[in-house]
A and B are shown apart, each in its own frame.
Chain A
């Protein structure tokens, strides 16, 4: 059981470039989410999904896109990177209300936008 995996671990982008942060889980969890962590701002929810084909916006969704075509994968797309998107990004998953709803987090992706 690998749990929640994220790739890449580190990434440097130039302003205006696009990229996809990958997230996968092998626990058959229904719920998946993306958070960003910034000094002084804590962890904030970007987008979340309660099942395959269902996504919704969190607190800070602007500049990000998500889709959930399978239960296992929940990629986060940066459409046109901006310096304000420099952050550490965490993906999380849980069983949802059918289980304990304990959230498990991936190791994070450290993104720098120049």
Chain B
């Protein structure tokens, strides 16, 4: 059974610092990995999708890497802003691509 872990569970940084969020998974037979953002009381917003054949994806200040063999992904957020405060979730899709297994999330607070 796939297990996804995100450490740390919470993170507080001063504005301008780079954020590094970690995600690990136990079964390397994945279809893809997706990073989401969730604001309190809201739904999930897709940030980045990395296919199993890719090593990284970039969108603006966000960069996500994937090392399938070691079961790890890292989300980098450059020059953090207070508006980046949210919970960040990673999720892996199984080999058939139809089911997501989520990590517990990392709650981020960026202090002005």
**Chain A contacts of B100 at CB under 8 A?**
33, 35, 43, 45, 92, 103
**Chain A contacts of B93 at CB under 8 A?**
101, 103
Query: How many residue-residue contacts, CB under 8 A, span A and B?
Result: 61
Q: How large is the interface on B (under 10, 10 to 19, 20 to 34, 35 or more residues)?
A: 20 to 34
Per-position 1/0 for A71-111, Cβ under 8 A of B: 00000000000000000001010101100111111111000
Nearest chain A residue, comparing its CB with the CB of B100: A103
Per-position 1/0 for B35-49, Cβ under 8 A of A: 010000011111001
Q: Is the interface of A mostly helix, strand, loop or mixed?
A: strand
B44 pairs with A105, CB closer than 8 A: yes
**Chain B contacts of A42 at CB under 8 A?**
89, 102-105
B interface with A by C-beta (< 8 Å): 31-32, 34, 36, 42-46, 49, 51, 89, 91, 93, 96-105
A interface with B by C-beta (< 8 Å): 31, 33, 35, 42-45, 48, 50, 58, 90, 92, 94, 96-97, 100-108
